[in-house]
Every structure is written in C-alpha cells, then in structure tokens.
Amino acid sequence: MGLAVCPSDGIDFVQGRYYFVGGRQGWDLYPELIRWPQGKHFKAGDVLVFNYNTEGGNLFSPVRVDKAGYEKCDPSVLKMSDRFNGTGHDRMRLTKGYNCFISAVQDYCGYGMKIAVYAW
C-alpha cells in the first residue's frame, strides 16, 4: 500500500493537518515568509513542518516564542521545550491560541524570518 502526496502547503492526517511552513520555499529568509499563514485556518493539534537549510550550522533553526518575543524578535524568552531539533525538518504541534515562531538568529527575524499563527 502506498501513499501519494501532492505538493501543497498542507496534508490532512487523523491527528491534525500537517502544514509545510513557507510551502516549497520552506523556512527561509525571504520577504513573503511572514505572510505565509494568511488565508490558512489552523486548529490545535495541527503540525507545522519547518524545512530549512542546515549547512553552516543552525543559522535557520526556528524557535517558538511568546507574542512579546515575536514582536521584539527576542529568542531569549524560550523554554527548552520550545527549541527545535536542528534537523532541517523539524515539527511543532500547535496549541490553542497564538503560536509564534522566529529565527534563532535575531537579525534574521528582524528581516522577516518569523510567523505567527492562531490555532482554534
């Protein structure tokens, strides 16, 4: 039995929908990333998949922060449970309410490498 996957931003599973952050571009430093969540309807239990380049270390590694950390691009407020694995294919399950993610590199976040989604 095989599974056919069509390229898109999301795939439905029983546990929740999987969303590939940034679509084909992935979690990368480009101006449209911050607008990627627009028009999508997230639910608690959905999973965000962050695909990013790991060459040169974890420069593109995302972190989960609260709304204040998102607004200030401050990764220092995160908890250990909010750190990603640094694999380049990290996943984070959404909780109800705001879920904010920024680049672990503060300058990249300042250039727009961040997203905020609301899960119902």
pLDDT tens readout for residues 1-55: 444 444 445 554 556 899 999 999 999 998 899 999 999 999 999 999 999 988 8
Q: Choose the most confident range, by mean pLDDT, from 45-54, 59-68, 76-85.
A: 45-54
Strand order through the sheet with 114-119: 62-65, 97-103, 114-119
Architecture of domain 18-119: Sandwich (2.60)
Structure-model confidence comparison of residues 106 and 85, the more confident one: 106
CA distance 72 to 79: 16
CA distance 92 to 23: 16
Q: For 68-97, what is the mean pLDDT?
A: 83
Tokens of 5: 């996957």
Backbone angles phi, psi at 81, to 5 degrees: -70, -15
Domain boundaries defined on the chain? 18-119
Closest residue by Cα to residue 104 from 67, 68, 78 = 78
Structure-model confidence comparison of residues 6 and 102, the more confident one: 102
Structure-model confidence comparison of residues 83 and 101, the more confident one: 101
pLDDT of residue 115: 97
